[in-house]
């Protein structure tokens, strides 16, 4: 899909941010809003669901880095799932995955 949408929901002791669309500059506001909401939904970890994200560019990486920095400042754990092989590689090259647990699916991500 064109554009980007992000919504937050509570899942057990975590909050999941479901994203869909293109994670680039245009995603910034929507992602920030959903992430803020997620931080308020639970006191536990925040889980990014990349399952419906078909494109992430360097600006999208910067947005994720910004969110991650915010979570760490509040002492909150951040996890992710639903990344394609290619974006797993990019998360690894950028070392995002050193600071964010990468999981295969929601169940394992929520369980941690």
Partner 1 sequence: MGWFRKRSKDAAPVEEVPAVPVRDGVEIPPHDPLHAYLVQAGGPVDLEKLDLESAALDALRESGSVLVVPLISQGELLGTLSLGPRLSDQPYSADDRRLLSGLASQVAPAVKVANLVKQQESQVKERERIEQELRVAALIQQTLLPKELPSPPGWQIDAYYRPARAVGGDFYDFISLSDGRLGFVVGDVTDKGVPAALVMATTRSHLRAAALRSSDPGEVLADANSVLVDEIPPGMFVTCLYGVLDVESGDVRFANAGHNLPYVKGESGVKELRATGMPLGLMPGMEYDVVTARLLTGEIMLLSSDGIVEAHGPDGEMFGFDAVQATFDSAPDTDVIGHLLEGFDRYVGADAEQEDDVTLVTLRRAAGAEEAAAVFASVPTAVLADFSVPSEQGNEREVMNRVAVSVEEFGFGEARLERLKTAVSEAAMNAIEHGNGGDPDLDVGVRVEARGDRLVVRITDWGGDAEIPDAEEPDIEAKLAGEQRPRGWGLFLIERMVDEMRTSTDDGRHTVELVMNREET
Minimum CB separation of residue 88 from partner 1 in Å reads: 11
7 binds partner 1 (CB under 8 A): no
Give the alpha-carbon dihedral of 31, 52, 58, 32, to 10 degrees.
0
Question: Which helix (H) or strand (E) segment is 34 a member of?
Answer: helix 28-41
Helices (H) and strands (E) in the chain, counts: 4, 5
Among 20, 23, 46, 96, binds partner 1 (CB under 8 A): 96
The contact set with partner 1 (CB under 8 A) reads 22, 24-26, 55, 57-59, 61-63, 65-66, 68-69, 72, 84-86, 89-90, 93-96, 98-99
């Amino acid at each position: 899909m064109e554009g980007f949408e992000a919504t937050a929901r509570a899942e057990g002791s975590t909050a999941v941010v479901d994203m869909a669309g293109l994670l680039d500059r245009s995603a910034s506001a929507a992602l920030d809003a959903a992430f803020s909401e997620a931080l308020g939904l639970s006191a536990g970890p925040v889980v990014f669901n990349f399952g419906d994200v078909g494109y992430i560019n360097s600006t999208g990486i910067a947005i994720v880095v910004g969110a991650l920095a915010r979570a760490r400042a509040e002492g909150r754990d951040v996890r992710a799932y639903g990344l394609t092989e290619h974006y797993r590689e990019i998360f690894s090259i950028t070392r995002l995955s050193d600071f964010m647990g990468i999981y295969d699916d929601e169940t394992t991500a929520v369980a941690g």
